[in-house]
C-alpha cells in the first residue's frame, strides 16, 4: 500500500465463530488480508429469523444479529457473507433483503443469490486430489466414485421430508448423467 492511501477494510458476516466452516473461511480471509495489507473485521452473528422462543436457553439468541448492523457503518469497504450459514432457515428473498441494506459490495461465500457475486468451491476436485495424493504413497491404491444430490428447501415453501428427499434424489440422477467419468488414481 502506498503512503497516504486508505487501508481497505473487509467485513466478514458469519453465523457464529465456533463452526468449522466459519473457522476455515476466517483463516483463509485473514491469510489473504495479511498478504494484501487489508484490515479484516469478522462479525459473528447467528442465524436470521430462527424461532427459538420455546427454548429458554436460546430464546434471546437473535440479539447476536445486531452485530450485522455494524457492517452498515462507513468504515467497511466490502463484505464477505457466509449467507448459507446465516440464512439456513430463511428464504432466498429474506437473504437478499438483508444484503441489499448494505451500501458496499457483498461477495457470498459458498452460496448463490441472484444479483450478488459469489465464490464457490469444487468439492469434487478437492476429494480427487486428496485420493491421488494418498494413492501415490499407498501400497493399495483406492478407486472412489462419489455422487451427490442436494436440494435447498425454502422455509416458506411447504415441502415434506419425503418430497425433499425425492427432489434431492432426482438431482442426484441428473448429476450422474452429466458428470465426467473421472477416477482418482
Per-residue pLDDT tens digits for 11-57: 998 887 787 888 888 888 999 999 999 999 888 887 776 666 676 66
Residue 81 CB coordination number (10 Å): 27
What are the φ and ψ backbone dihedral angles of 119, each rounded to 5 degrees?
-120, 120
Asked if 44 and 15 touch (Cβ cutoff 8 Å), the reply is yes
What is the three-class DSSP state of 14? strand
Alpha-carbon gap, residue 150 to 52, rounded angstroms = 26
Over residues 71-75, the mean pLDDT reads: 74
Over residues 60-78, the mean pLDDT reads: 72
Summarised one tens digit per residue, pLDDT across range 116-140 is 888 876 666 777 777 788 788 878 8
6 versus 11: which is more confidently predicted? 11
What are the φ and ψ backbone dihedral angles of 107, each rounded to 5 degrees?
-115, 125
Please name every residue paired with 39 in a beta bridge, in sequence order, or none if there are none.
9
| Residue of 31, 36, 26 whose CA lies nearest to 5 | 36
Q: Where do we find the cell 467485513?
A: 11
Residue 104: is its pLDDT beyond 50?
Answer: yes
Cα 167 versus chain centre, distance: 22
- Strands (E) in 37-92, as ranges, are 39-44, 78-81
Specify the pTM. Answer: 0.64
Following DSSP, what letter does each residue of 81-145 receive, concatenated?
A: E-HHHHTTTS-HHHHHHHHHT-SS-EEEES---TTSEEE---HHHHHHHHHHHHHHT-SS-----
Q: Where do we find the cell 468451491?
A: 121
Task: Identify the pLDDT of residue 3.
Answer: 66
Q: Classify residue 19 by its DSSP letter.
A: S
Asked if 148 and 175 touch (Cβ cutoff 8 Å), the reply is yes
Amino acid at each position: 500500500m502506498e503512503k497516504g492511501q486508505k487501508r481497505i477494510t473487509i467485513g466478514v458476516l458469519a453465523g457464529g465463530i465456533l463452526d468449522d466452516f466459519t473457522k476455515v473461511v476466517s483463516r483463509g480471509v485473514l491469510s489473504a488480508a495479511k498478504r494484501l495489507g487489508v484490515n479484516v473485521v469478522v462479525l459473528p452473528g447467528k442465524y436470521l429469523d430462527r424461532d427459538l422462543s420455546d427454548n429458554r436457553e436460546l430464546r434471546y439468541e437473535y440479539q447476536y444479529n445486531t452485530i450485522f448492523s455494524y457492517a452498515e457503518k462507513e468504515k467497511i469497504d466490502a463484505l464477505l457473507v457466509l449467507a448459507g450459514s446465516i440464512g439456513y432457515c430463511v428464504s432466498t428473498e429474506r437473504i437478499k433483503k438483508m444484503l441489499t441494506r448494505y451500501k458496499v459490495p457483498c461477495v457470498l461465500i459458498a452460496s448463490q443469490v441472484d444479483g450478488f457475486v459469489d465464490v464457490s468451491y469444487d468439492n469434487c476436485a478437492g476429494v480427487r486430489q486428496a485420493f491421488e495424493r494418498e494413492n501415490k504413497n499407498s501400497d493399495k491404491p483406492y478407486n472412489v466414485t462419489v455422487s451427490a444430490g442436494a436440494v435447498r428447501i425454502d422455509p416458506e415453501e411447504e415441502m415434506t421430508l419425503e418430497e425433499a428427499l425425492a427432489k434431492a434424489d432426482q438431482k442426484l440422477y441428473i448429476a450422474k448423467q452429466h458428470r465426467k467419468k473421472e477416477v482418482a488414481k
